[in-house]
Amino acid sequence: MHKNLSKKELLINKFTQVRNRTNLLVEKLTHEDMNIQTAQFVSPTKWHLAHTTWFFEKIILKNFSKKYFNYDKNFDYLFNSYYNSIGKQHPRHKRGLISRPSVEEIFRYRDDIDCKILNLISNANQLNNRFIFSFNVAINHEQQHQELILMDIQHVFFSNPIKPTYLERKNNKKNLNKIKKVPKYNRVNSKVCFIGSENEEFCFDNEKPKFEKEILPFKISQNTITNYEWKEFMYDDGYKRSELWLSDGFDFIQKNEISKPFYWIDENYHFTLRGTQKICETLPVTNISFYEANAFAKWKKKRLPTEFEIESLLKNSNIKGNFQESGNFEPSENDDSSDIKNLYGNTWEWTSSHYLPYESYKPWNEHLSEYNSKFMFNQLVLKGGSCLTPISHIRASYRNFFYPTDRWVCNSFRLAESIEK
């Protein structure tokens, strides 16, 4: 009995912490902020708040409550993201047109579903494995949307002519002058390691099954690429030299007139969640596409690391660093140790690996089969988490994935080089 109660308390604490964390992230926003959609890939904050609640309703309450009735039958259409097995969805690029229900109504919706979830847990005679699994999926799903809320609100504020701030500006005492450091590389010897999830309490289906992988010897940069190094690339006409680019990448930057990282206003200033700030040249460059990272690597006569190389390093590192809980909401500077720095947190890191299923991969059952498997094409894997990622959400085997053109992600990359055994 005591053991069962302890499990209930654990679930209740986890649920309330995650839901309260989301509410805290949007506390500084006005209702007008929450309704804006500035691009097809951006969702209004209000939609995120509703969708994550709808997910708990559909995955938990609909499956585990007796005689459960929908809070609002219209929400299955308005706040379904991409689950075709559940029904039709309101078009993604038109989410900003959903002026009703209001923000107030969405918060009432959240409160109502929260109460029902907590009552369900408290009154359950037994919490079986199926419930625990569904609960953890919903928790991790909301954590993913916490990061998306921050990414999307940065885009919304950047699109506003007055460039408002989400957080107060810091007194930036970093050396903003040009500092050229010689990039340092660590040698990683050949080894065989396990790739994929190993005995974690929870993982997504795309992290399974685990398998042995031989990692051939390689060198990897201790730091992610800095703003200073990126400026060097720009000053050497990196964006104009077609020989550095994949064909699709060069077409992409020409069509969209791209000549600098996404949030750069010019070579001196960029936009962050703390507003317009002077670019610190020792910080990691962020908000770049895979195509840009790949062109830079070719310019340096290096390559991007594979997801397996990065995962092998992550599995030999402690999960610590600059995550969402730090309250920075922007990358921090690399320290001066001799180790490979900021593998966890700070910025997601592009890899050269296409987002594909592992051999013998099996997607989750029923509606959740759509969660990851149908996106396993035309995307690239990123590893390690960012300053916008909750620390309890990340692990070495975690596989984030984005299209090679995506630039509103808090990402960077490091360089690698193959060496003979």
Segment 17-76, tens digit of pLDDT: 999 999 999 999 999 999 999 999 999 999 999 999 999 999 999 999 988 999 999 999
β-pairing, 218-221 vs 185-188, is antiparallel
CATH number at residue 67: 1.20.120
Check residue 119 and give its pLDDT. Answer: 96
In a shared domain, residues 130 and 267: no
pLDDT value of residue 333: 86
Confirm if 92 and 148 have CB atoms less than 8 A apart: no
Burial class (CB in 10 A: 0-12, 13-18, 19+), 129: exposed
Amino acid, single-letter form, for residue 304? L
pLDDT digits (tens, 9 = 90+) for 311-321: 999 999 999 99
Domain identity same for 127 and 31: yes
Q: Which alpha helices (H) appear in 41-128, and where do they start and end?
A: 45-56, 62-64, 75-78, 103-123
| SS3 state at 2 | helix
Residues 320 and 267 in one domain: yes
318 inside domain: yes
Average pLDDT over all residues of the chain: 94
Residues 154 and 298 in one domain: no
69-117 pLDDT, tens digit each:
999 999 999 999 999 999 999 999 999 999 999 999 999 999 999 999 9
The confidence score (pLDDT) of residue 1 equals: 42
Question: Are the beta carbons of 398 and 385 closer than 8 angstroms?
Answer: yes
For residue 284, the model assigns a pLDDT of 97
Same domain? For 189 and 308 the reply is yes
Residue 190 lies in a domain: yes
Residue 248 lies in a domain: yes
Same structural domain, 155 and 219: no
Q: What is the predicted pLDDT for the residue at 172?
A: 58
Structure tokens at 288: 């770049």
**164 is a domain residue:** no
Return d(Cα 350, Cα 290) in angstroms, integer: 7
Q: Among residues 159, 174, 205, which one ends one of the domains?
A: 159
Claim to verify: residue 77 and residue 197 sit in the same structural domain: no
With H, G, I as helix, E, B as strand and everything else as coil, classify residue 67. Answer: coil
pLDDT above 70: residue 5: no
264, 146: one domain: no
User: pLDDT digits over 247-278, tens only?
Assistant: 999 999 999 999 999 999 999 999 999 999 99
Residue 407 falls inside a structural domain = yes
Of the three residues 144, 159, 174, the one that is the final residue of a domain is 159
179 within domain boundaries:
no
Q: Tens of pLDDT along 7-22?
A: 899 999 999 999 999 9
Looking at residue 359, what is its pLDDT? Answer: 97
Q: pLDDT tens, 141-171?
A: 999 999 999 999 999 999 999 999 999 887 6
SS3 call for 272? strand
What CATH number is given to the structural domain containing 257? Answer: 3.90.1580.10
d(CA 199, CA 183): 36
What pLDDT, in 10s, does the model give residues 358-399? Answer: 999 999 998 899 999 999 999 999 999 999 999 999 999 999
> Do both 333 and 413 map to the same domain?
yes
DSSP 3-state of 52: helix
What pLDDT is recorded for position 158?
A: 98
- Among 334, 351, 350, 355, which residue's Cα sits nearest to residue 407? 350
CA distances from 90 to 35, 72, 84, 241 (A): 15, 15, 11, 41
The beta strand positions in 177-242, using DSSP E, are: 185-188, 191-195, 211-215, 218-221
Residue 277, in any domain of the structure? yes
Q: What is the pLDDT of residues 319-356, one digit of tens each?
A: 999 999 999 999 998 665 668 889 999 999 999 999 99
**Residue for token digits 């079986």?**
128
Shared domain for 213 and 106, answered yes or no, is no
Q: Is residue 177 part of a domain?
A: no
What pLDDT shows up at residue 200? 79
Q: Are residues 197 and 77 in the same domain?
A: no
Domain termination residue (choose one: 143, 159, 175)? 159
What proportions of the chain, in percent to the nearest 5, are helix, strand and coil?
40, 10, 50
Least confident of 18-22, 177-181, 255-259, 403-407: 177-181
> Beta strands 348-354 and 411-412: pairing type?
parallel
pTM of the model: 0.95
Please give the full DSSP string across 158-205, using - where no structure is assigned.
HHSTT---SSPPP---S--S-------EEEE--EEEEES--S-S---G
Q: What is the pLDDT of residue 244?
A: 98
CA distance 160 to 166: 12
In this prediction, residue 352 carries a pLDDT of 98
The residue range of the domain holding 75 is: 2-159
Regarding whether 283 and 324 lie in a shared domain, the answer is yes
- How many folded domains does the chain comprise? 2
